Chains A and B, each alone.
Chain A
Amino acid sequence: MIESRPIATMIAHAILLLGVAIIAFPVWITFVAATHDAMRVTQVPFPLLPSDQLLVNLKATLFATQDSSLDLPIGLMMLNSLVMALTIALGKISISLLSAFAIVYFRFPFRMFFFWMIFITLMLPVEVRILPTYEVVASLNMLNSYWGLTIPLIASATATFLFRQTFLTIPDELLEAARMDGAGPMRFFFDILLPMSRTSIAALFVILFIFGWNQYLWPLLITTDESMYTIVMGIKNLLETAEGDPQWHIIMTTALLAMLPPILIVLLMQKLFVTGLIEAEK
């Protein structure tokens, strides 16, 4: 803001508040649905203010009881999502750190060949190679397992590029000093490179955790066993059962549970998230 224009500032605030209201509205409605009982949710007009049933609904959702028509283990699905998100995030970070280290700090035959091989994965999102990847996973007996859910998604050109970028900014003198003190490559990697890249690692973790948690098509394909369902794909099954007997209060409580962890991570680690997102796309 350069000069004082009170009216312009007021208009700016008004537009922003309107934007926030529109963006937040769907989530508010979800929250409201999760605080009412089954009866009220299916009555028209839909309430705009919350009621007091949130804990009851949470309990019914997380620990499905006999009398609720829903028998999907939501608590287990949350756990599966957590395992999947953590494995993908940590897996991507570890293998990308190692390959970026090799490409930046070693001269060896086929170095550029490996670099391009990793680079090309940028062009092959899971959505365009669904069937054959599914067949590979099936032939390796990895259907309905955590391995099948995570390993095929772990290779990441983006993370390798980001770490390569980070390593290139680390002064050469550090390596010279480390070598003079007699440190081998792995000692240098663990004692100098890793501590110096911790901001990039943390920022990338936030992005990759969200990426892993929000996977939909992949778990949909390779899990047929209810005990391996993730919460994000489980919502589809709930909606399908809703065709006959709508359990909207339970569905919306599930939706709330499914979006809570990634939203919390974004809000609590906002600064890391913003730098991570903007760095990763450079």
Chain B
Amino acid sequence: MLKRVHFGPSWLPYALVLPQVAITLVFFLWPAGQSIYQSFLIQDPFGLSTEFVFLENYEMLLDDELYYDTFGRTFFFSIFVASFSLGIALLLAAMADNIIKGSVTYRTMLIWPYAVAPAIAGALWVFMFDPTLGVITHFLDRFGWDWNHKLNGGEAMALVIMAATWKQISYNFLFFLAAMQSIPKSLIEAAAIDGASPSRRFWSIIFPLITPTTFFLLVVNLVYAFFETFGIIHVVTGGGPAKSTEILVYKAYNDGFIGLDLGSSAAQSTILMAMVVIITVIQFRFIERRVDYQ
């Protein structure tokens, strides 16, 4: 990764990496270390007294059934968001790959939700499903479905899943379409000459060949659902009703900034960091494997 031809040692390279390294130290490594340190402390909400308790914050979390519920809810939410957004994007990309003219036009019409902020996406969906005047609520009402996500936890969960899925489809679509269009046309032609139908060609050739992209997107989508959906949940439900949409990131925020339980919030942050590390390691393992496919 170093150039064969390069400059010798001097002070210059240190000056060049300095801004990046300084920001990383002050705003990434130091807070991360603080977070781990704080997770060993119990502090009263006014910051008057602090006690070193070692693993007690973790023990309390691991004894707390509500925390396991939050875990379960986070996985439920993430699996639904990832499978819906991957499934819909795969279908749309397969269709766009299959037509001669206009796939770029469809791409233009499908990619822009990527640019919508999660919080704004949340606001759009909350408006459509507003219990009194929402356009979809009114539609559901005709079928006798009295939609109210402010009271019904299941409906609240469904709403955040829909909003999060809606925002992620365009990203997945772009990657699926790019992967499909990079498959050599001769492979598909050979299969067609042998008499394979379009669906047979998709499942026996295209789908296996884009497996690396699918795995990559699965990881990205899970990370998205875990962390980046904070804005959607904060705007749409605020974690409610009765914590029915409170996922891990939301709980860490809520316990720390609203509940002022700093030790517990820090312990939750540390657990989240460990999860990101595991996900990143898996992703890199897989990127190494990806080379084998080609």
Contacts and interface: CB of A to CB of B under 8 A. Distances in A.
Contact of B32 (A48, A99, A132, A267): A132
Given A46-B133, A114-B17, A259-B115, A172 B3 contact: yes
A22 to B, nearest CB: 8
Given A15-B92, A29-B127, A117-B21, A104 B99 contact: no
Contact of A24 (B109, B120, B123, B235): B109
Interface in A35-85: 41-46, 48
A96 interface: yes
A29 B135 contact: yes
Contacts of A12: 95-96, 98-99
Counting chain B residues whose Cβ lies within 8 A of the other chain, the interface size class is 35 or more
Interface residues of A, number: 106
Contact of B20 (A11, A118, A273): A118
Given A42-B133, A107-B8, A255 B123 contact: yes
B135 A48 contact: yes
A236 B35 contact: no
Contact of A106 (B9, B23, B27, B30): B9
A277 B111 CA distance: 12
Most chain B CB within a 10 A radius of its CB, from A26, A214, A220, A274: A26
Contact of A164 (B1, B121, B134): B1
Interface in A130-145: 130-133, 135-137
B265 interface: yes
B266 interface: yes
Given A9-B98, A255-B124, A98 B5 contact: no
B146 interface: no
Interface stretch (B54-62, B63-71, B74-82, B166-174): B166-174
Name, among A131, A135, A267, the residue most crowded by chain B CB atoms within 10 Å (CB to CB).
A131
Question: Which of B20, B27, B99, B262 has the most CB atoms of chain A within a 10 A radius of its CB?
Answer: B20
Nearest to A214: B117
A268 B51 CA distance: 56
Contacts of B83: none
A224 interface: no
Contacts of A255: 120, 123-124, 127
B40 interface: no
A235 B262 CA distance: 28
A23 B21 CA distance: 41
Nearest to B193: A2
Majority secondary structure, A binding face: helix
A235 B119 contact: yes
Contact of A129 (B28, B117, B132, B216): B28
Contacts of B215: none
A78 B44 CA distance: 39
A13 B99 contact: yes
Contact of B133 (A3, A30, A248): A248
A127 B180 CA distance: 33
Interface string B105-116: 011111111111
Given A24-B109, A248-B127, A278-B175, A104 B3 contact: yes
A101 B6 CA distance: 10
Interface in A171-185: 172, 175-176, 185
Interface of A: 1-3, 5, 8-9, 11-13, 15-16, 19-20, 23-27, 29-30, 33, 41-46, 48, 94-96, 98-99, 101-109, 111, 114, 117-118, 120-125, 127-133, 135-137, 151-152, 154-155, 160, 164, 167-168, 172, 175-176, 185-186, 210, 213-217, 220-221, 232-233, 235-236, 239, 246, 248, 251-252, 255, 258-259, 262-263, 265-267, 270, 273-274, 277-278, 281
